[in-house]
Amino acid sequence: MRRVLVKARIVKLAGKTGGAAKAHLRYLERDGTTRDGEPGRLFSTFSDEADRSAFIERGGEDRHQFRFIVSPEDGAAYETLKPFARDLMAQLEQDLGTTLDWVAVEHHDTGHPHVHIVLRGVTEDGKTLNIAGDYIAHGVRHRAGGLITRDLGPETEREVERQLEREVDAERLTRLDRRLLGRAEDGVVDLSRPSDTDGFEKRTEPLLVARARKLETMGLAEQVAPHRWSLASDAETVLQEMGRRGDIIRTMHAALSQSKGDQSELYRVHDAQPAEPIVGRVAARGLADELNDQRYLIVEGIDGHTHYAGIGGADGSFATGHVVILKPTITAPREVDRTVAEVAAANGGRYSIDDHLRHDPNASARFAEAHVRRLEAIRRATGAAERQLDGSWTIAPDHLERVHAWERAKAERMPYVIETVATKALDAVTKLDAPTWLDRQLSGEFRHDIANQGFGHEVKRALDARRRWLLDQGLADGEAGQFRLQRDLMKTLRRRELFRVAGQLGEELKLDFTETKDGASFSGIYRRSIEASGGRYALIEKSREFTLVPWRPEMDRQLGRPINVRPNGASIEWTVGRDRGGPQI
């Protein structure tokens, strides 16, 4: 029987299919997943153009859904996997005794064509669909293998032998390795005596010897006697990791080879967070773990290297060509956490705003309220802080250790804070009458080393062009060969863009624009965010006028509601309603 790899996951929904399920399907339909490099398209039993929104709506009250990845070893032999997927789901319907509601998409963007299937966890009469664990683990694979074998015929012994011959030198875990590990006793495999089996396995014994010698050259086996090898205790784990890294290198090569050629010596695969931020241009994006929505970015760095970074469950919608900065997520407790622990330690394990103000007479009530909001976030996420009826908080002696563990867990899910600093091509940025990431580099705000190769070389040329533009605009001078930026350059560029965008909006809204000054408040309705070249702005509107202030993600929770904003230097203080106290960003 021909082999098929099946991965399965049961996703608990509890009646909440919205964001996560929708994002999963949308990402499965991402760019370049078909054989022709086109976006993937959902299909179902009778349609090649399944309606994603309708599927999500039908599953709005489902308790769970099933997700499968089905990858036939001989999937490349098919022009399309749709008929195979439909036959497989028809077989599942027969086995489970119910009509199934499912959508799927086929992917040809890796060396192994495969199909993703998302199955609602309900039967045809609306009851909860439960599938036995053994059937998920073995039955689906057996049915899929039977269908492939029906279509392509059974594998011949010679076909299998040729596959095993190719595995001898493979730098990954292979069937030969599993046979060696299965025959090992106390870590030692004896190939001096023939296998107890007859026929095909006995004839492929020489391949086991060849593989053992290959493992020896890889440092994963040691010959202890003629035809006897001691296998490394971590051989299986190391080989699996080598296979994973090999897949990553092939993914990176495929993303860059069309225009860059082989640059594998410049590849950097980040298994852990790098010590320094990664700055560069997005070359590719995708799912590192397609079953669990774990994503990756491939970034052409200004340091001359190409970086593969697993970004966990981050949005992952960064477009190719955008310039991004990936900063490792900080896992240490924040200063606000240390202050809470300090105040609590001085007050018998109790924290309150009054205790805080007595502990630090220079602190303001607004500043102390920020500590309470942090405690609320910790309480909701971990239960590590307990709120009392009088508004005070009981703080455990190991509060900082608990916060540290929480931050580490968040970093595992979201290992990077990712900032998009440019959405335009370099040539367009050099003459942009707005603050740019090139200006941040020239001003010294960014202190990233720039290489003379790859994307770094392009950035150096762009910086030279930006210098010339700033000189022409009178925003810098170069007397005696010394290039100096105008004081408040970023503020000047920001105001230029602000008034340009405001002029366009004023015509559209038929309202007057009011520029907010430091310390001056402006109250109105938060209408929407505005994307501009130098960043995003929040549009705050009242009866006859409007203003624009730097946008923050937290503001979107107040869309359509009254909000009060007050610029304060480089920060923005904003409150819900009419200045009753609120977040400071």
pLDDT of the chain, 585 residues: tens digit per residue: 889 999 999 998 865 545 677 878 888 887 667 777 788 899 999 999 999 999 999 988 899 999 999 999 888 888 899 999 999 999 999 999 999 999 999 998 776 899 999 999 999 999 999 999 999 999 999 999 999 999 999 888 888 888 899 999 999 999 999 999 999 999 999 988 766 666 677 778 899 999 999 999 999 999 999 999 999 999 999 999 999 898 888 888 877 765 555 566 788 998 777 878 999 999 988 888 878 878 899 999 999 999 999 998 887 678 889 999 999 998 899 999 999 999 999 999 999 999 999 999 999 888 898 899 899 989 988 877 899 999 999 999 999 999 999 999 888 888 998 988 888 889 899 999 999 999 999 988 888 889 999 999 999 999 999 999 999 999 998 875 688 998 889 989 989 999 999 999 999 999 999 988 887 888 999 999 998 887 888 999 988 999 998 888 788 888 999 998 887 766 677 787 654 444 433
pLDDT per residue over 502-525, tens digit each?
A: 999 999 999 999 988 887 888 999
Instruction: Report how far Cα 408 is from the mean position of its chain's Cα atoms.
Output: 16
- What is the pTM for the complete model shown? 0.79
Helix (H, G, I), strand (E, B) or coil at 275: coil
H runs (alpha helix) in 383-523 = 399-413, 426-429, 437-443, 454-472, 489-509
Return d(Cα 113, Cα 35) in angstroms, integer. 9
Query: What are the start-end ranges of the E strands in 444-583?
Result: 476-477, 484-485, 512-513, 522-532, 535-542, 545-550, 562-568, 571-576
User: Taking CA 119 as the corner, what is the angle to CA 118 and CA 125, rounded to the nearest 5 degrees?
Assistant: 160
d(CA 130, CA 127): 9
- Tell me which residue of 256, 245, 162 sits closest to 207, measured CA to CA: 162
Which of 19, 142, 180, 2 has the alpha carbon at shortest distance from 77?
Answer: 2
Q: Give dist(CA 442, CA 251) in Å, integer.
A: 34
Q: Give the C-alpha separation, 4 to 70, whole Å.
A: 7
> For residue 17, what are its two tokens?
């299919």
Residue 72 and residue 81: Cα distance in Å, rounded?
9
Give me the residue label for tokens 């503001």: 555
Query: Crossing angle of helices 399-413/335-345, nearest 10°?
Result: 160
